[in-house]
């Protein structure tokens, strides 16, 4: 998950509640001194050419207290029922570019502190900011360095640019982890595993995943892996990337026994076959034993 740490501002005096566009204030948390923290609006629509003002108010609580407010932001993916993994609900490494809250050092205080009980910040985005829903998280720090995280401010960015990320960062079949090398994924299943209907669980930075045009549901959709299967990851900007998944089944485990030769009583190592017979019996000098008998030690 990628964070951009941003800072707010202070105003020169108390912000008049009439700047709330006629609406009710929205509470986003309570500070240790009992002060409630309110904002003037939520779900703000922001574009590169239309930044938004947000007023923050401090109401009640003990006197002679002052605080500074800093901000961080994250971009949330739209809820996608095709994603089961919670890791996919936040776009890692994408989405915080160009989001800013300014100016910095948002100072706010209660009566007697000499600091206004409100401040105003401007939230803006750049022309390259991805469109989507962002959460701006206020962090309040007291003079004694006690920190309080408040409920987030939601902004809706109407941007023309969509993320192009389309990686598979984790892949498993029936709980067996695959090895990802570039766009190739190799999975070795235990001996005896049927590969005609295996269910993949994966983490992707893309928007959707398809196999032969069929949309995949993480942890639910089964595929036949008798031959390599191509998983196509679709980014939000429409671009795609193919991953080839190759499945192999581990061979049967070999059991060995040290046996004596019926002719010379020499000891040799043999493979024990499923029917209990011996094969591939070779002594230390490499000579084969045609009629082994008498197990000395089985391993």
pLDDT in tens, 127-156: 878 778 888 889 999 999 999 999 999 988
**Predicted pLDDT at 23:** 55
Q: What is the pLDDT of residues 211-245, one digit of tens each?
A: 999 999 999 999 999 999 999 999 888 899 999 99
Give every CB contact of residue 126 below 8 A, 6+ residues apart in sequence: 48, 97, 98, 100
Strand pairing report for 179-181 and 208-211: unpaired
Q: What is the pLDDT of residues 80-119, one digit of tens each?
A: 444 444 333 343 333 356 788 886 678 999 999 999 999 9
Regarding whether 151 and 264 lie in a shared domain, the answer is no
Regarding whether 149 and 71 lie in a shared domain, the answer is yes
**Predicted pLDDT at 95:** 39
Strand pairing report for 267-272 and 278-282: antiparallel
207, part of any domain: yes
Regarding whether 9 and 136 lie in a shared domain, the answer is yes
Question: Angle at the Cα of 269 (from 268 to 272), degrees rounded to 5?
Answer: 130
163, part of any domain: no
Regarding whether 20 and 96 lie in a shared domain, the answer is yes
**Predicted pLDDT at 288:** 47
**Predicted pLDDT at 181:** 97
Number of domains in the chain: 3
Regarding whether 225 and 98 lie in a shared domain, the answer is no
Regarding whether 135 and 40 lie in a shared domain, the answer is yes
Higher per-residue confidence, 98 vs 186: 186
Regarding whether 233 and 123 lie in a shared domain, the answer is no
Regarding whether 244 and 108 lie in a shared domain, the answer is no
Regarding whether 262 and 245 lie in a shared domain, the answer is no
* Domain final residue, candidates 157, 181, 209: 157
The confidence band for 158, taking pLDDT boundaries of 50, 70 and 90, is confident
**Predicted pLDDT at 101:** 87
When pLDDT is averaged across residues 245-274 and rounded to a whole number, the result is 70
N-to-C CA span, the chain: 49
Give every CB contact of residue 179 below 8 A, 6+ residues apart in sequence: 185, 186, 187
CATH number of the CATH domain containing 12: 2.60.40.10
**Predicted pLDDT at 276:** 67
Structural domain range at position 95: 4-157
CATH number of the CATH domain containing 223: 2.60.40.2340
**Predicted pLDDT at 81:** 46
Q: Which two tokens stand for residue 118?
A: 């409100």
The pTM of this model reads 0.50
How far apart (Å, rounded) are the C-alpha atoms in residues 185 and 248?
11
Higher per-residue confidence, 133 vs 65: 65
Regarding whether 55 and 14 lie in a shared domain, the answer is yes
String of b and e for 150-188 (b: at least 16 CB within 10 Å)?
bebbebebebebbbebbbbeebbbeeeebebeeeebebe
CB 106 within 8 A of CB 69: yes
Higher per-residue confidence, 282 vs 233: 233
Q: What is the mean pLDDT of the chain?
A: 78
């Amino acid at each position: 998950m990628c964070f951009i740490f941003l800072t707010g501002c202070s105003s020169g005096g108390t912000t008049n509640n009439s700047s709330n566009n006629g609406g009710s204030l929205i509470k986003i948390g309570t500070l240790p001194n009992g002060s409630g923290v309110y904002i003037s609006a939520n779900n703000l629509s922001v574009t590169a050419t239309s930044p938004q003002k947000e007023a923050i108010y401090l109401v009640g609580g003990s006197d002679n207290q002052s605080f500074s407010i800093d901000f961080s932001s994250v971009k949330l993916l739209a809820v996608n029922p095709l994603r089961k993994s919670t890791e996919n609900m936040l776009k890692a490494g994408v989405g915080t570019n160009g989001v800013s809250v300014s100016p910095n050092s948002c100072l706010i205080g209660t009566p007697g502190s000499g600091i206004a009980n409100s401040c105003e910040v401007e939230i803006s985005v750049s022309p390259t900011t991805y469109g989507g829903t962002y959460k701006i998280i206020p962090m309040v720090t007291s003079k004694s360095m006690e920190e309080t995280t408040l409920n987030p401010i939601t902004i809706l960015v109407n941007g023309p640019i969509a993320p192009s990320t389309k990686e598979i960062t984790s892949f498993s079949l029936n709980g067996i982890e695959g090895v990802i090398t570039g766009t190739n994924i190799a999975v070795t299943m235990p001996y005896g595993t049927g590969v005609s209907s295996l269910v993949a669980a994966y983490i992707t930075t893309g928007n959707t995943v398809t196999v032969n045009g069929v949309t995949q549901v993480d942890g639910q959709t089964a595929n036949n892996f008798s031959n390599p299967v191509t998983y196509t990851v679709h980014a939000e900007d429409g671009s795609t990337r193919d991953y080839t998944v190759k499945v192999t089944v581990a061979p049967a485990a070999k059991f060995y026994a040290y046996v004596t030769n019926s002719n010379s009583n020499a000891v040799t190592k043999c493979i024990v076959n499923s029917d209990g017979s011996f094969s591939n019996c070779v002594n230390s000098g490499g000579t084969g034993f045609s009629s082994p008998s008498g197990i000395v030690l089985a391993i």
